[in-house]
């Protein structure tokens, strides 16, 4: 096969010779041959496809090391890699979008007088299989929280984390909500780390932490782990948190379906939790409208009770207390394989 000069090859692939030299230097596309006398780069016509692929992947914003990996794969696997990369970009963008709107809200001159209040109940249960309850829930006039401890020190770590949030159960000016939430999670993480240093244990211990704080007519949300927050509004149920689990990442990347995830043996494997190391929580801001009903629950509920069952209870039970009691009943009717905690809170006109 006759080799092409860099100029001829550049014209065929519609890239500049400069770009081709850069790809060579970065190890993304080596010339088929370099003339030992002149140093000229020569390319084979069957490198056209790869050169175009490199150009497209760079346009996508994929990091160089990852492009190198993709170029070495057969097409099917390369497709999966591109899909996984893009799912990651979208997840990162979604997290930054939430943060951006939080900042916009916070920096806007908002009327912060409290026009709504919360009517709430907490219900927790050991379940039918576990020999201790490591789940903790909290509900107050301004703060709602659930934590699911795991490992040998799972309890008291879940309590340690929730107690660290207690200062949030007070009137926080809207302009300080974002910092207050971030500080509180930092405090909770440090408290978990301190406890583990003082009480070392075998294996990994830690806790999830999911909380909402009422400020004015807004609810700030902070979330680490696989507890969930659901919002019942106008009869429809919305899940407003993303599970920080390995399985959820696989779903986002299109490598696993929701149905496959439901029975995955490692479905509860966490990728983010409070274990003493630094952790980035998800932060978001939601409107608190009279008539809204929020449910914060650990995986002891959502892993065994389908959303339709959760919705039915939230729609039909008038009192938060009764809704919480029935949700725990459903978890135990489904085998009660795990501890469970439910916080049900209604937004009411103040
Ligand atoms: Mg659990």
Q: What tens digit of pLDDT does each residue of 47-63 get?
A: 999 999 999 999 899 99
139 alpha carbon – ligand 1 mean position (Å) = 19
Please give the model's pTM, rounded to 2 decimal places.
0.79
d(CA 108, CA 219) in angstroms, rounded, equals 16
Q: What is the mean pLDDT of residues 106-129?
A: 85
CA distance 235 to 232: 6
pLDDT tens string 284-340: 888 899 999 999 999 999 999 999 999 999 999 999 999 999 999 999 999 999 999
> How remote is the CA of residue 133 from the centroid of ligand 1, in Å?
9
- For residue 110, name the pLDDT band (cuts at 50, 70, 90): low
Closest CA relative to residue 300, chosen from 143, 122, 120, 129: 129
Residue 257 pLDDT exceeds 90: no
pLDDT at site 111 = 59
Residue 130 pLDDT more than 80? Answer: yes
Q: Which pLDDT score is estimated for 265?
A: 75
Phi-psi group of 335: left, alpha or beta (phi > 0 → left; psi -120 to 50 → alpha; rest → beta): left
pLDDT of residue 267 exceeding 80, the answer is no
How confident is residue 259, by pLDDT bands cut at 50, 70 and 90? Answer: confident
- Measured in angstroms, how far is the CA atom of residue 206 from the centroid of ligand 1? 12
CA 340–ligand 1 middle distance (angstroms): 7
In the prediction, which pLDDT does 109 show? 65
Query: Which domains are delineated in the chain?
Result: 4-70 (1.10.1660.10), 94-349 (3.60.40.10)
Average pLDDT over residues 173-185: 88
- Phi/psi of residue 304, each to 5°? -120, -20
Tens of pLDDT, residues 192-237: 999 999 999 888 999 999 999 999 888 999 999 999 999 999 999 9
- Ligand 1 centroid to Cα of residue 214, in Å, is 26
Residue 112 has pLDDT above 60, yes or no: no
pLDDT band at 280 (very low <50, low <70, confident <90, very high): confident
pLDDT attached to residue 6? 96
Q: 9 CA distance to ligand 1 centroid (A)?
A: 58
Higher pLDDT residue, 113 or 300? Answer: 300
Average pLDDT over residues 68-81: 91
For the cut 90, the answer to whether the pLDDT of residue 144 exceeds it is: yes
Query: How many whole angstroms from 337 Cα to the centroid of ligand 1?
Result: 9
Q: Is 257 exposed, middle or buried (0-12, 13-18, 19+ CB in 10 A)?
A: exposed
Q: Residue 90: is its pLDDT beyond 70?
A: yes
In the reported structure, the alpha carbon of residue 332 is separated from the centroid of ligand 1 by a whole-number distance in angstroms of 13
Cα 37 to averaged position of ligand 1 atoms, centre (Å): 68
């Amino acid at each position: 096969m006759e080799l092409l000069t860099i100029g001829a090859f550049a014209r065929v692939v519609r890239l500049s010779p400069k770009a081709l030299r850069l790809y060579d230097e970065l190890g993304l596309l080596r010339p088929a041959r370099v003339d030992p006398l002149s140093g000229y780069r020569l390319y084979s016509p069957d490198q056209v496809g790869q050169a175009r692929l490199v150009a497209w992947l760079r346009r996508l914003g994929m990091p160089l090391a990852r492009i190198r990996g993709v170029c070495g794969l057969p097409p099917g696997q390369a497709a999966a890699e591109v899909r996984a990369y893009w799912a990651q970009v979208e997840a990162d963008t979604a997290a930054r979008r939430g943060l951006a709107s939080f900042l916009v809200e916070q920096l806007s001159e908002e009327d912060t007088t409290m026009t709504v209040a919360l009517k709430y109940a907490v219900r927790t249960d050991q379940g039918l299989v576990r020999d201790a309850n490591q789940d903790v829930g909290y509900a107050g006039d301004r703060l709602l929280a659930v934590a699911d401890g795991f490992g040998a020190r799972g309890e008291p770590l879940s309590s340690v984390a929730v107690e660290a949030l207690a200062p949030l159960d007070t009137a926080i000016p809207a302009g300080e909500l974002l910092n207050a939430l971030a500080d509180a999670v930092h405090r909770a993480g440090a408290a978990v780390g301190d406890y583990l240093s003082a009480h070392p244990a075998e294996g990994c211990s830690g806790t999830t932490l999911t909380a909402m704080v009422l400020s004015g007519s807004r609810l700030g949300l902070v979330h680490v782990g696989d507890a969930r927050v659901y919002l019942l509004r106008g009869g429809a149920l919305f899940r407003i948190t993303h599970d920080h689990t390995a399985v959820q990442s696989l779903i986002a990347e299109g490598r696993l379906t929701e149905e496959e995830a439901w029975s995955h043996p490692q479905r509860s494997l966490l990728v983010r939790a409070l274990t003493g190391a630094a952790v980035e929580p998800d932060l978001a801001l939601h409107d608190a409208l009279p008539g809204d009903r929020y449910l914060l629950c650990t995986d002891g509920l959502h892993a065994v009770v389908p959303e339709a069952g959760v919705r039915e209870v939230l729609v039909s039970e008038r009192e938060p207390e009764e809704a919480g009691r029935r949700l725990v009943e459903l978890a135990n009717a489904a085998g009660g394989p795990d501890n469970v905690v439910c916080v049900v809170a209604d937004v009411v006109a103040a």
